[in-house]
Amino acid sequence: MRYSINDGFPYYIELLGDRDYVQLFNSKENLNLLTSLTDEQAAYRYAPGKWSIKQIIGHITDHERIMTYRALRFSRKDKTPLPGYDQDTFVDNSRFDELTISQLTTDLENVRNASISFMNSLSKAQLALTGTAWKYELPVESFLKATIGHELHHMEVLKRLYAPAFS
C-alpha cells in the first residue's frame, strides 16, 4: 500500500482496491456481522484505552454522516473548505457504550440508507465536482469511496483484534 492510516482519505480509498464502492454501500455483510453480536460482546475492548465495539459502530456512523455531508456540500458546488474533526472528541462525548447493539446498528442502517439515497440522486457531473475537506481536495465520488473505505478499515480491525476473543 502506498498510504498509511495517517494519510486519511487516500488510505481509505486505496483500501477499496478494484471493488465497486456503490456495491459496498449496498452490501449488508458488515451490518449482518455487527447485528449478530450480543451487547456483552459489543462492550468488548481488546486492550485498556481502546474503543469498544459499540464505540466503533458509533464512530463509523458518525464518520459516514460527516463524509456524506461533505459530499452533499461539494455536489451542490459549495467551495467552502471544510475542516477535519477529532474522532476521539466525538467518541468521548457520545453515549455509544450506553446504547444497545440493536440501537447502534439500527442507526448505522438508517444512516446507510440515507447515504445510498443521496448517492443515487447524484449525476456523473456532480460526482466529479471537487471540494476541500481537511487537507485534501477531492471529487465528490472520492469522498464517498473514502467513506466506505473507512468502514472497511474498521471492520478489518474488528476481525483482527476483537473477533479472536469470541472464538
| pLDDT value for 123 | 98
- State the amino acid at position 147 in one-letter form: T
Query: Which domains are seen in the chain, by residue range?
Result: 5-166 (1.20.120.450)
| Residue 120: HSE in the Cβ half-sphere, 13 Å Cα cutoff | 9
DSSP for 81-135, please give it: -B----HHHHHHTS-GGGS-HHHHHHHHHHHHHHHHHHHHT--HHHHH-EEEETT
Q: What is the pTM of this model?
A: 0.97
- Whether residue 167 is predicted with pLDDT greater than 80 in this model: the reply is no
For the segment 21-47, the average pLDDT, to the nearest whole number, is 97
Q: For residue range 91-137, what is the model confidence (pLDDT) as tens digits?
A: 999 999 999 999 999 999 999 999 999 999 999 999 999 999 999 99
